[in-house]
């Protein structure tokens, strides 16, 4: 009898110490000069095949306008884009076939906010020598972030 192995992984990053508003299409990263992509250890073995069922980004603040994000995920690492610059991913990386998730379900409390996509079934194959997914966020609305806002990225799913 085969049983599915479920996963829930998370990572976080702190965006720069500014409140420069994002435009639609801007990268949301951890630096305006030397950004890194975020990494999620999703597999249990190199080359695992996964199905993502839920994706979330939690902000430690609740701004006047809640953010909407697009999450770009790849099975290999790539050069990140500076925070608050138009998202740019080289052709060779794009040709590997990104997983793109529109996070368009917004929720909030008095002190923080959450944007997510639920009830999805996105298949992903990890690289033969890796157990991670690599990602970047793209702003999908105009919003003003908090200075040094902490964004927590969460993926849930199962290994097939």
Provide the pLDDT confidence category of residue 90 given band limits of 50, 70 and 90.
Answer: very high
pLDDT tens digits, residue range 119-137?
999 999 999 999 999 999 9
Residue 2, pLDDT above cutoff 80: no
State the DSSP string of 22-88: BPTTBEE-S-SSS---EEEE--SSTT-EEEEEEEEEEESS--SS---EEEEEESS------TTSB--
Query: For 11-29, what is the mean pLDDT?
Result: 98
Tokens found for residue 4: 């599915």
Residue 1, pLDDT above cutoff 60: no
HSE-up of residue 50 (Cα within 13 Å, Cβ side): 34
**What is the rounded CA–CA span in Å between residue 28 and residue 137?**
5
Tokens found for residue 129: 């020598």
Provide the pLDDT confidence category of residue 3 given band limits of 50, 70 and 90.
Answer: confident
**What is the rounded CA–CA span in Å between residue 51 and residue 94?**
20
- The domain locations on the chain are 5-159
Residue 112, pLDDT above cutoff 70: yes
| Mean predicted lDDT score pLDDT of the chain | 96
């Amino acid at each position: 009898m085969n049983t599915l192995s479920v996963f829930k992984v998370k990572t976080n990053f702190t965006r720069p110490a500014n409140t420069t508003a994002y435009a639609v299409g801007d990268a949301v990263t951890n630096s305006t000069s030397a950004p890194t992509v975020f990494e999620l250890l999703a597999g249990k073995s190199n080359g695992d095949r996964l199905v993502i069922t839920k994706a979330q980004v939690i902000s430690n603040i609740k701004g006047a306008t809640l953010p909407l994000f697009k999450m770009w995920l790849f099975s290999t690492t790539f050069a990140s884009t500076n925070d608050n610059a138009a998202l740019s991913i080289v052709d060779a990386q794009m040709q590997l076939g990104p997983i793109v998730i529109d996070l368009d379900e917004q929720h909030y409390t008095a002190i923080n906010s959450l944007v997510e996509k639920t009830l999805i079934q996105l298949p992903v194959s990890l690289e033969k020598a890796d157990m991670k997914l690599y990602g970047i966020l793209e702003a999908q609305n105009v919003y003003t972030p908090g200075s040094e806002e902490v964004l927590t990225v969460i993926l849930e799913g199962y290994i097939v």
